[in-house]
Amino acid sequence: MRVHLITLIILSIFSCQVVKTVNAEIGSVKTQETTATSKTSATPSSEISSYILFWPLTAGKTEGDSLYFLKMAKEQITGWFIFGNMKKADYALYLGSKRVLEAEKLLKAGKNDLALKTLEKAMSRFSSSYKNVKKESAKKQISKDEIRRDRLIHIKTLIDFLKTTSSEETRPVLESVKDSADAILRDYLP
């Protein structure tokens, strides 16, 4: 009887701590999204930080790294288990955002050729997201809460910053990536 009582107490304490932690993290993310959104509109381009804009997303492994193929395989396998047009659209948006962050890292490292290849992948992901949102819109079941609008806005902000610091050959590709992300905002998430 005592063992059951102690186990019950420990489980209830643990579950309360988990709920508090999850609620704190959700509140923290919402606060950071609000802060990042307000900072992007008032922050000069010299102070743009992809870490602030996209936290907790980071570039991680990039094109040219030895284990990059594993990252791509993991993302593809994960995509197989996502169902619904809006969830697929949001996942494609997530992957496109990751590619832009990878391109930023590559551009900072002076690997423009790999950055251009990565930006092409980002554009492909944003196009995929657009197609899935379009399919859902045709069904008249579009749910704006299922896709991260703030991420699209932050993509535009980061790309504008990258255009100011990148070479002439990368600027048109950056603009094309921005246009493909902006198309979702313009056509479906005004």
pLDDT in tens, 98-116: 999 999 999 999 999 999 9
CB atoms within 10 A of CB 78: 12
Residues 6 or more apart whose CB falls under 8 angstroms from that of 164 comprise 45
Reported confidence tier of residue 55, pLDDT bands at 50, 70, 90: confident
| Spatial distance between the Cα atoms of 155 and 16, rounded to a whole number of angstroms | 37
| Spatial distance between the Cα atoms of 122 and 102, rounded to a whole number of angstroms | 10
Q: How many CA atoms lie within 13 A of 124 on its CB side?
A: 7
Which two three-digit tokens encode residue 86?
Answer: 């809006």
Most confident stretch, 12-16, 17-21, 134-138, 168-172: 168-172
Q: What is the pTM of this model?
A: 0.74
- Taking CA atoms, 1 is separated from 12, 15, 127, in Å, by 17, 21, 60
In this structure, which amino acid lies at residue 9?
I
Query: Does position 187 have pLDDT exceeding 50, yes or no?
Result: yes
- Taking CA atoms, 15 is separated from 6, 12, 20, in Å, by 14, 5, 9
The residue written with tokens 């859902």 in the block is: 136
The candidate with the shortest Cα–Cα distance to 101, out of 122, 87, 130, 77, is 122
